[in-house]
Structures are given as structure tokens and as C-alpha cells.
Amino acid sequence: MKIVNVNTNDIHGGAARAAYRLHKSLLASAVDSIIFVQSKNSDDYTIIGPKTFPQKISSKLSPFVDSLPVRFYQSRSKTLFSTALMPSSYVVQKINALKPDIVHLHWINAGFLKIEDIVKIKAPVVWSLHDMWAFTGGCHYDEGCGGFVQSCGKCKVLGSDKPFDLSSRIYNRKRKSFSKFDIQFIALSNWLFNEAKKSSLLKDKIIHQIPNPIDTIKFAPFDKNQARKLLNLPSNKKLILFGAVSSTSDPRKGFIELTEALKLINTDNAELVVFGASRPEKENEFKLTTHFLGHLHDDVSLRILYSAADVMVVPSLQENLSNAIMESLACGTPVVGFDIGGNPDMIEHMLNGYLARAYDIKDLAYGISWVIEHPEPFVLKKMAREKVLDKFDSSVVAQQYISIYKKLIR
């Protein structure tokens, strides 16, 4: 059985990391798997990127060209919006030339794969929903708009008040294209499964609910004192960890909510650690000392960081199935987040972390305090680790994907 995973990037971004982990877990299960990408940054020979000069030029220009129509909307929010307008003939030709048994689409934006070209793929296709983009008019998260239930237009993310705007045109393109092919979808969280079923684009499609896998050998508890020494972090403080790609600049990641919550807790014995962002030019007015660690790109560094912390805070306002939550729990570090999106799939309230009421800053602050002041932190650590071993371990999750592949091939 040969699987070709298709993702815009190989290692950069949450979806890329998730796709790569699935790929590695398939290989470990003796499945012939490769990844085909638009932008390759690793030296992994099982990942195929653009090779010819025209392909490399196209991979550089496509993200810019894809974003041009969006730039006309001056009042747009910071939420990512993709058009999928770029022709992708060489991409489909390459996929078909690999002669896969199954093509597994992941995050295919930034001008990588045009909506109308998906129908040209000759093998059965399964598509993992890493965010909401597949069933919206272009936004990756709808900011609570809900327009995708019927059809898009007057797009909140674009800041548009016109019913026939860019989001409406993209939605109609998807409607026409989706009627021409039979793709099965995979929602990575219960929340995204339910959202996808509401959409007029996917409500009649087969949608499975399977999470991302994680290697629980790579992500495992590491000695806390040693971890803090390696990262030059204090050994006598409670460390509150926060981080994500664009963690301080993307409003969806909840940095503002975290800032407000930290003003409400006793910080005499606590310090904040931020990764995924460097120290800003203008400092935030935190009451507590803050360590900015910048971007961490390898699993070893992340494992050490999670193990150094007493609590991980993921205050996202919309979230599918957070890699950060899963990684932290795998390392035995409890997590605090809002009771939204895919968070309840991983955080068990007051067992391995704390689920604050949605967007309630006071409850978020209480949850942080509840974890760092817990009288038996080793119990939280044990429950955190066991949750991941039971539900998300690579060997467990890979078999669920393989089962779907086999049914599609039959």
C-alpha cells in the first residue's frame, strides 16, 4: 500500500508537523509513505519537493500570487485567508506519476493546490481537516461567523459587507468542484467534525473523526531540574509556559487574554516562559518576569521545554487539535485552556489540566492558579501522560488511518 501525503510545507507549521508525524507513524507500521510538498526545508529523503528550476520559482511565487486578491480588503483581520487560485498542473502530474494507492491531502494552501485541480488526481483521496478552510469561503478559522453553514459572503475575516465578495466566489468554486469528486474527509477533533457536518459543502460527505498521532517516546517526561538548567531557567519558581507559531501576534492564539489573566493571579513565586516569539521591542506590562525563548524547531528542545514548565497555557479563541496541548500532556505537563474547539478532546477538566469557561479571563486565571498551587502535582503529571498514551500514541492512531486506507482501496 503506497500513501502520498500532500502538504504545503514539510516541517514548518502545525499542520506540517502533524502530517509528518502521521507519515513517520505509517512508515513505522510498514506502510509505504511519502510526503509531497511545495516547500522543503528538511533533508528527509522520504519527502519530495520541487526539483526543476521552474518548479522552484513557482513554489516561491505562488504564496504571494495566491494572497493578491486578499490584499484588496484593507479592513481584513489577521486570520489567515487563502484563495487556492493558482494553477497546479505540475503538482497533480507529479502526484499521479507517483502512482499512489491513496492520496492523503493535508494543508494545501499558499498557492500549492488549486481547488479545481483536485478532481484530476487519479487515486482515491482522503483529506485531513487541519482547520476550517476546506468548508469555508477562504478563511482558515471563521472567528465565530458561521457563514459557511449556508454560503459565504459579507466575510467577517475580510472585513467585507458585500454579499458577493471574494469569500462568496471561493465558496461557489468549492461547491462546484466538490460535486465532481468523491473525497472522504478526516476531522482531527470532535469540534471540527461537528462544524464540518454543519457546512453545506461537506454535510453529505463521509467524514471520519481521527486525531493526529504523536510519538510518545520522543515526547516523554524529562527531569525538570535538568531541563531548567539546560534552558537557563530558574529552579525555584513556578513556570507558566505559553507558545505557538506567531504566539504574540496572532489574536486567535489568545495572548491578550493570557495577559489579562496573569494580572489576576498571585505571581510572587511564578514566572512566564514564551516560545514561538522573540522578545518584542515594546515590552508587555506583565507583573511577572518573562523569558522569551524564540522559535524552537526540534522535538528534543520542545520536550525539554515542556518538562521544565509547571503548567502550559493554551488560551486560543478557536483551536482544532493543538499540537502544543498534546505535546505538553505527553511530557507530563498539565494544560490550561478555554473549553472550546478540540481542547476537551485532550484536556480532562481538573484531572490533567483545567478547562476554563469559554473566553472567561477570570476562570482562565483561576485555572492557572489551580494547577500551579495543586497539592499533588505528580497526580496531574501522571494523568496527563496517560491520556496521550491511551488516545494519541502513534501506534494506536496509525492503525485507524490504515483501516480507512484499506477500505478506500477495496
Q: Which residues contact 312 (CB under 8 A, 6 or more apart)?
A: 241, 242, 306, 324, 325, 328, 333, 334, 335, 336
Cell of 258: 493570557
285, exposed or middle or buried, with CB in 10 Å at 0-12, 13-18, 19+? exposed
350, exposed or middle or buried, with CB in 10 Å at 0-12, 13-18, 19+? middle
Q: Evaluate whether 138 touches 94 at the Cβ level (below 8 Å).
A: no
163-167 long-range contacts, CB within 8 A, separation 24+: 165/73, 166/69, 166/70, 166/72, 166/73, 166/83, 166/137, 166/138, 167/81, 167/136, 167/137, 167/138, 167/139
| Residue positions counted in the chain | 410
In order of start, what are the domains of the chain with their CATH numbers?
Answer: 2-213+393-409 (3.40.50.2000), 224-391 (3.40.50.2000)
Find, among 202, 12, 193, 34, the residue nearest to 104 by Cα.
Answer: 34
Round to whole Å and give the CA distance between 139 and 134.
9
The string of DSSP codes covering 255-319 is: HHHHHHHHTTS--TTEEEEEESSPPPSS----SS-EEE-----SHHHHHHHHHH-SEEEE--SS-
What's the N-to-C CA distance of the chain in angstroms? Answer: 12
DSSP for residue 229: H
Round to whole Å and give the CA distance between 315 and 243.
10
pLDDT for the residue 295: 86
Give Cα separations from 363 to 258, 288, 358, 370 (angstroms): 11, 19, 9, 10
Round to whole Å and give the CA distance between 50 and 71.
27
What one-letter code names the amino acid at 7? N
Q: Evaluate whether 344 touches 364 at the Cβ level (below 8 Å).
A: no
pLDDT for the residue 12: 86
147-150 long-range contacts, CB within 8 A, separation 24+: 148/198, 148/199, 148/200, 148/201, 149/198, 149/199, 149/200, 150/200
Round to whole Å and give the CA distance between 79 and 246.
12
Collapsing DSSP to helix, strand or coil, 197 comes out as helix
Collapsing DSSP to helix, strand or coil, 178 comes out as helix
Q: Going residue by residue through the chain (410 aa), what tens digit of pLDDT does each one get? A: 999 999 999 988 889 999 999 999 999 999 999 999 999 989 999 999 998 888 888 888 999 999 999 999 999 999 999 999 988 778 999 999 999 999 999 999 999 999 999 999 999 999 999 999 999 999 999 999 999 999 999 999 999 999 999 999 999 999 999 998 889 999 999 999 999 999 999 989 999 999 999 999 999 999 999 999 999 999 999 999 998 666 566 778 888 899 999 999 987 899 999 998 777 666 666 678 999 898 887 899 999 999 999 999 999 999 999 999 999 999 999 999 999 999 999 999 999 999 999 999 999 999 999 999 999 999 999 999 999 999 999 999 999 999 999 999 98
Give Cα separations from 214 to 164, 344, 367, 387 (angstroms): 42, 17, 26, 12
Q: Which residues contact 60 (CB under 8 A, 6 or more apart)?
A: none
| pTM across the whole model | 0.93
The HSE-up count of residue 401 (CA atoms within 13 Å, CB side) is 36
**Residue that has been written with the C-alpha cell 506502510 in this structure:** 31
Give Cα separations from 352 to 272, 331, 347, 387 (angstroms): 20, 12, 6, 8
Give the distance from CA 63 to its chain's centroid.
19
Name the packing angle between helices 299-308 and 224-231 (round to 10°): 110
Round to whole Å and give the CA distance between 95 and 393.
29
